[in-house]
Structure 1
Amino acid sequence: MKHISILVPFGHASLPNIDGTHQLLNDVNGCAARMGLPKVFDIQLVGISPEIIQRNGRFTIQTDCLIDQVKKTDLIIIPAIHGDLQQAIDTNAEFLPWIAKQYQNGAEVASLCIGAFLLAATGLLSGKQCATHWAEAHKFAQMFPDVHVVDDKIMTHEDRIYTSGGAYSFLNLLIYLIEKNAGREVAIMMSKLYMIDIDRYSQSPFIMFQGQKDHDDEAVQKAQQYIEDKFDDKITVEELADKFAVGRRTLERRFKKATGNTVIEYMQRVKIEAAKRSFETSRKNISEVMFDVGYTDTKAFRDVFRKITGLTPVEYRNKYNRGVVVA
């Protein structure tokens, strides 16, 4: 039987992450019993205090035990933490050495959504891949440059460390962990009971590109705005460099440092975001949308669209534009 420690951090943590994980893993035990199998998980809510007040007093979580009472655990699950993320890490700093020590003693560690920030603060993610909510991926990369953040993946698994993408994609990671520990048959049963897509691996279709503007490089900010204003034009890097009186290599270096994207990647993502909005709200065909955002090569447009969203233009339109599907 595997001992599970679900952490209950101070501050504003994700109640769905905590309660959802507790409920789903307990239901695994019930499902296993009905199938004549032994109990799979021994699950505890673990904290720094016996009572953890959440959301300014609206909720109080009673922990099962404190971290210093857990001498050995098999899997630590870190829920999402909200608000000022650095402050949330500082407030929950007592967890960090305990997580690292348990990992060194053989435990697995899983972070859910932006719980990845707390996990990364332990140093255990250094040099590894990490999934988190796509909306916080750029901030994560700034705070933890030694971690390879992958904003397109639902989950990662490397060296006994698991991370999940945004919000309710934590359910996909739980199903993965259930299959790993209880077998495929139980995982399928739980995915059906909770109506969770058992084999979904990408959060790319859900990403809304908003541009990374939280930096102080004025020339790069002007270049970003120009790209967004002229997304339907064919802009070259040389044109941008000349317009803002910056050498091409200097612009490319500063742009990558400030935004996390190359200039070309940024142009592509702005164009594809415009195309996505058009597919969601209009009845234009693929070619019309392609030309509207400045592409003339159908294959190039389709390849870039699929690379960024994980779907073809037709698949994306059919997924998000009910009017087109009905018609």
Structure 2
Amino acid sequence: MTTARIHIGIAHYPGALLSAVQGLAEQFFLANRICRERGMGEIFQTIVFDSRQLGREEGGLPDTLQVVILPPCLDDDAYLEPPPPLLEWITRQHRGGAIVCSVCAGAFVLAQTGLLNGRRVTTHWALADAFAARFPEVRVDSGKLLINDTDIITAGGLMSWVDLGLELVAQFSDSQVMRQLGKYLIVDTGAREQSYYRSFTPKLDHGDEVIVRVQHQLQREFSQPLKVRDLAMQVHLTERTFLRRFVSATGLKPTHYIQRLRIQKACELIETSALAFERVAENVGYEDLSAFRKTFVRITGQTPREFKKRFVGIGPGQRNGTVTAEDGA
């Protein structure tokens, strides 16, 4: 059994993460090895190209590519101001039927082609706010690790190029090849979300000193009962004005801000202490265990027990044979 080759172009553009550029090429190389062993022939033809060569007979690239990948980028200036020939080339490739993919900050490059307008995409959670502000016509969902929108595929995390590679291998060969590749690489091929890894980092450089003062208070008193009305009175603002300024400065309503702050503190306690589930909830200001668990799942995408297992390696209630409330939650 043989299958038509899939030509994949990996853009080595200024600031691109070299480990991702080479790693993707090696991932498809290994996928080809598995395909040969299964009698499928070599499916993936990988071409790493220097974007600076575009416009010079397309840098020796074939006329048509099935896939174009923009790897992560560590240089702010590079992904915020990519070379125009690269943007023009990506647009032509997409117009010719190529699936265009980005990883992490590569989404900034892709967005500047206009191809993402009206689309739902992902990027690194730490870049999501800046991306949303710069490209308001694009719907960014940074909770997702990977979004496959048929002709546009975006991956969020810095290392999610591995997930993108697995997605493409499954799409152009089959899921068995993808799972075998994952086993060889010793990487998880199960469903994951970027929200599992997200940390809450409040914006403090917004320039509203009054709101910064409130944020500092919340950082100190996050476990205490807090009412929006009381916070507004403390800074001599009406509740309506306080809400408007708080949302404008932080991007969150005060109640959502406090929830994220408490859950971040809960994550830190789960990772660094042996406290039982109910003690963690109590320490971060939740008397209702059910409400704490629901909020934790909504924000992180997993239960406290799943979080513990993923990031610490053991589940609550497994120490010395004891069982905590979370085991039955």
Q: TM-score, normalised by structure 2?
A: 0.87
Deviation at 1:211, TM superposition (A): 0.9
**In structure 2, what is the equivalent of residue 182 of structure 1?**
173
- Map residues 103-118 of structure 1 onto 2, 5 A cutoff: 103-118=94-109
Aligned to 2:68: 76
Contact 2:105 2:127 in 1 (8 A): yes
Q: Which residue of 2 aligns with 1:230?
A: 221
Within the candidate set 3, 15, 19, 1:16 is matched to: 19
In the aligned structure 1, how far is the partner of 2:159 from the partner of 2:108?
A: 17
**Aligned equivalents of 1:13 and 1:180: distance in 2?**
25
Give the direction of change, closer, same or farther, for the CA distance of 1:36–1:69 in structure 2 (3 Å limit): closer
- In structure 2, the partner of 1:6 is 10
Distance 1:293-1:172 versus aligned 2 partners, 3 A rule: same
Distance across 1 between alignment mates of 2:141 and 2:238? 30
AA aligned opposite 2:199: M
Structure 2 residue 43 is the aligned partner of structure 1 residue 40: yes
Q: For 2:52, what is the secondary structure of its paired residue?
A: coil
Distance 2:166 2:300 in 1: 23
Unaligned segments of structure 1, at least 5 residues = 52-64
Matching residue's letter, 1:139: A
Q: Note the alpha carbon deviations across 1:17-51, whole angstroms, 9 max, x for none.
A: 10111011122222111111132122111223359
Describe the shift of the 1:93–1:254 C-alpha distance in structure 2 as closer, same or farther (beyond 3 A).
farther
Measured in 1, the distance between the counterparts of 2:137 and 2:236 equals: 32
Percent of aligned positions that are identical: 31
Shift of 1:285: 1.2
Report what 2:89 is aligned to: 98
Amino acid at match of 1:219: V
Q: Partner residue of 2:199?
A: 208
Are 1:247 and 2:250 an aligned pair? no
| Counterpart code for 1:112 | V
What is the CA distance between 1:297 and its match in structure 2? 0.8
The one-letter code sitting in structure 2 at the alignment partner of 1:8 is H
With over 3 angstroms needed to count, the CA separation of the structure-2 counterparts of 1:252 and 1:70, relative to structure 1, is farther
Structure 1's 35 and 72: CA in aligned 2 closer, same or farther, altered over 3 A?
Answer: same
1:122 and 1:314 map into 2 onto residues whose CA distance is 42
Deviation at residue 180 of structure 1 after TM alignment: 0.8
| Residues 1:157 and 1:250: Cα distance change in structure 2 (over 3 Å) | farther
Which residue identity is paired with 1:39? E
Q: What is the aligned residue count?
A: 312
Q: Bigger CA drift: 206-215 or 186-195?
A: 206-215
Matching of residues 242-321 of structure 1 within 5 Å: 242-321=233-312
Give the AA of the match of 1:200.
Answer: A
CA deviation vs aligned residue, 1:261-291 (integer Å, no higher than 9, x gap): 2222111010001111111111211111111
Counterpart code for 1:47: D
Partner SS, residue 49 of structure 1 = helix
- CA distance 1:219–1:94, change in 2 (3 Å): farther
CA drift of 1:159 comes to 4.4
Residue 310 of structure 1 deviates from its aligned partner by 1.7
Structure 2 portions without partners, runs of 5+: 321-329
CA distance in 2, matches of 1:240, 1:72: 59
Structure 1 residues 157 and 214, CA gap change in structure 2 (3 angstroms): farther
Letter in 1 for 2:42: K
Corresponding residue to 1:121 among 112, 117, 128 = 112
Q: Which moved more, 1:302-311 or 1:213-222?
A: 213-222
Question: 3-state DSSP class of the match of 1:3?
Answer: strand
Alpha-carbon distance between aligned partners in 1 of 2:92 and 2:116, rounded to the nearest angstrom: 14
Do the aligned partners of 2:13 and 2:52 also contact (CA within 8 Å) in 1? Answer: no
What is the deviation of 1:145?
2.3
Q: Residue 243 of structure 1: CA displacement? A: 1.9
